[in-house]
Structure 1
């Protein structure tokens, strides 16, 4: 080459900036994934491409942002799964109780939630720039299902509370009726025991059970208290103040056997048998003393 020859001009090399590469890559991802932006929430994710381009100058920040996007998507997916479980649970609970919760329709429509959840469940293969839109759809469906579940749960709890109140009222009424029956039975038994024949039967049984006194001793007791009071629990001696079947003097001594000594022949008999046992050892001994001195 001679020095006076002029070398042909060189064509300028094309330089591709990092921003152009990212933009092209982002566009390519959107096209090749087969996902569309038909949903308003997905359309809203388009600006993420611009954000990705702008963040090329700060790759560390970009990595951090994408990591946050995927973390948020996972959190949204978990909440959606929980909502699906809650929907299944409330419908099962309503069916199990068989209660009328005051609502004609007790179902939970989870079609949208299932659809959006299935999309979001592919977060490992879905481009990060589309995740916010998918998460927004899943979040909206989750809120709808959660609100429905809460409404059904409130009605079910109210129905359970009403049933519990009704059962408690029925139990209280049954308890009151039983208490009344027992009170009437006790009153009838007391009235029967307070008759002379009832008092004699009570005394015979008590003498045998508590002291081992048989019919021979009871025969003496029968004679003794027939003489003293005629087996009348209301007997009262105006001359000395002796009271009741055993003619206790004073009558309030029988309080040691029970506070109802004035109205219950059994209480008077219990006191009288104890008095005879301590003072004479047996009814026949007491009857013998009474025959000898006219008192016991």
Structure 2
């Protein structure tokens, strides 16, 4: 017969302050499970003679309303975007806005096109505008993202500025 116990659930506030809440769970008689959270956000779960510790990595949701994102896989167009955003001195909040914007525009597809003539990851219109950054504009994600960030910085100041405009008008 299983005993009713409490399962502790860890959540993080936007300021990364850990909070623990309890939910009902079922364990066999005599089983004990504990959860502890250290100041450096390491979570330890112990059950009988087993213990698992995992460092919690959290990304707060940007104030802009863009969904939170993590660090992208190396070698991807998103990793290039991550690098280029940080090279401009912008933080993870701006990267999250860029991810939302380019997901909406092209799903980070270097060959994305639409009938209007918009092309590439940033959906430049016409796509040939991106030649100002490199002759390989039609196939190189770094060239396209660099052009897109130049455009965003010149017109909206930041990716979150562009994302906010896109959310309110449907385009950027």
- Structure 1 residue 207 displacement after superposition: 1.1
- Structure 1 residue 196 displacement after superposition: 10
Q: TM-score of the superposition, structure 1-length normalised?
A: 0.33
Q: TM-score of the superposition, structure 2-length normalised?
A: 0.56
1:243 to 110, 119, 125: 119
Say whether residues 1:227 and 2:104 are aligned partners. yes
Separation in structure 1 between the aligned mates of residue 151 and residue 75 of structure 2, nearest angstrom: 22
1:8 equivalent in structure 2:
none
1:287 equivalent in structure 2:
163
Separation in structure 2 between the aligned mates of residue 237 and residue 282 of structure 1, nearest angstrom: 25
1:208 equivalent in structure 2:
86
What's the CA shift string for 1:108-147, capped at 9, x where partnerless?
xxxxxxxxxxxxxxxxxxxxxxxxxxxxxxxxxxxxxxxx
Q: Check whether the contact 1:196–1:230 (CA below 8 A) recurs between aligned residues.
A: no
Q: How many residues align?
A: 100
Structure in which a larger fraction of residues adopt helix: 1
- Structure 1 residue 263 displacement after superposition: 1.1
Superposed CA RMSD in Å reads 1.6
Q: Secondary structure at the match of 1:258?
A: coil
Separation in structure 2 between the aligned mates of residue 291 and residue 206 of structure 1, nearest angstrom: 23
- Structure 1 residue 246 displacement after superposition: 0.1
Q: What pairs with 1:46-125 in structure 2 (closer than 5 Å)?
A: none
Moved over 6 A (4+): none
2:77 equivalent in structure 1:
199
Identify if the C-alpha distance between structure 1 residues 227 and 219 changes in structure 2 by more than 3 Å, giving closer, same or farther: same
Q: Check whether the contact 1:196–1:232 (CA below 8 A) recurs between aligned residues.
A: no
- Structure 1 residue 197 displacement after superposition: 6.7
Separation in structure 1 between the aligned mates of residue 109 and residue 144 of structure 2, nearest angstrom: 10
Larger radius of gyration: 1
Q: Secondary structure at the match of 1:225?
A: helix
Gaps of 5+ in 2: 1-72
Gaps of 5+ in 1: 1-194
Structure in which a larger fraction of residues adopt strand: 2
